[in-house]
Copies of this chain bind each other. A is one copy, B any other.
């Protein structure tokens, strides 16, 4: 038998199965193209025309490495948020920043608290660095602040994760509740507040940005309302020393030149953001109306998607989703009981929601039949 290089122990213990199945993989499997791409919470409205023009202008310049300091984008973010330059770190999407946060602040074996059914990529990174996941059930389709806090205390957790507004349910806590939660946490527990959907919800859900607390780090992205998911650009805001720790381990050439330039241009076009927010709100109302027209219960959402209670069990909702997929409508659904009674539909363009409105009754009939 051939000997071979050994994996490091933490990696050796990981499964090879990978939870990431993109719509492209589904299309390759079916041999068909989705008629409506409303499953990945992307922004069908796209990036701003000003951003598209900028990307086209700088395409020929991509022979140059990116600025490893992300200087221009960081400076623009700091000014936009009213924080210092050293309170911001830019990464390859929130995914990349979660990877680093876990690597920096979770030692192997330490407890990390999240909600059961919340963002799987966070869990992927916690597993990947040997953290011990502690999962707290949702309460009334919201992440349970009391439950998370109790778990943090009980397990002396190094880190706790909350997405607000939430994915996959679309629900949210008001800023006061989030602030009270942060105040109640042990000072040694890092609170990772994922605000990927921060721009699409009510402003009242966003606590004021404070960078004084070493145990709170907030993450935002250009992937959602700004319409740049494909470019991989997110940022974290926190206390300077916490941010400095990212410098020790991040891939300094990880965020592409294109992403840095497009991110800066996107931030400068707040008129487009306002337009997208209005379209997202209208799209949510329309998805909710379609759901109600079919006798289903939409859950009120602060995100760019609406999660719909199909009124049955997980198996029923799964059949609904599968029927929609078979009709080339790309949506997703939560998989953990009791959230799994729902399907999740992203706000898309009107023609995509027309298709959803047309196909949902058939998918439901098929699931019932």
Contacts and interface: CB of A to CB of B under 8 A. Distances in A.
A65 B46 contact: no
Given A11-B245, A247-B18, A62 B215 contact: no
A47 B25 contact: no
A33 to B, nearest CB: 13
A64 B20 CA distance: 15
Instruction: Summarize A's interface: helix, strand, loop or mixed.
Output: loop
B253 A232 contact: yes
Contacts of A232: 66, 253-256
A312 B60 CA distance: 39
Contacts of A253: 20, 93, 95, 121, 232
Contacts of A31: none
Nearest to A158: B5
A40 interface: yes
A286 to B, nearest CB: 19
Nearest to A244: B16
A121 to B, nearest CB: 8
A3 interface: yes
A129 B128 CA distance: 13
Interface string A114-126: 0000000100000
Given A59-B56, A66-B232, A104-B11, A6 B188 contact: yes
B60 A230 contact: no
Q: How large is the interface on A (under 10, 10 to 19, 20 to 34, 35 or more residues)?
A: 35 or more
A198 interface: no
A10 to B, nearest CB: 8
A230 B63 contact: yes
Contacts of A67: 22, 24-25
Interface in A184-198: 186-190
Nearest to A190: B5
A201 B96 CA distance: 34
Given A7-B245, A188-B5, A18 B252 contact: yes
Interface string A1-24: 011111111010011101011101
Contact of A254 (B15, B96, B247): B96
Contacts of A9: 107
Given A4-B214, A253-B95, A257-B231, A55 B65 contact: no
Interface in A93-111: 93, 95-96, 99, 103-108
Contacts of A63: 42-47, 227-230
Interface of A: 2-9, 11, 14-16, 18, 20-22, 24-25, 28, 37, 40, 42-47, 52, 55-56, 59-69, 71, 92-93, 95-96, 99, 103-108, 121, 128-129, 158-159, 186-190, 214-215, 223, 227-232, 241-242, 244-245, 247-249, 251-259, 262
20 contacts: A3-B186, A4-B187, A4-B241, A4-B242, A5-B190, A14-B249, A15-B248, A25-B69, A25-B71, A42-B64, A47-B60, A52-B59, A55-B59, A56-B59, A92-B251, A93-B254, A95-B254, A254-B254, A256-B258, A256-B259
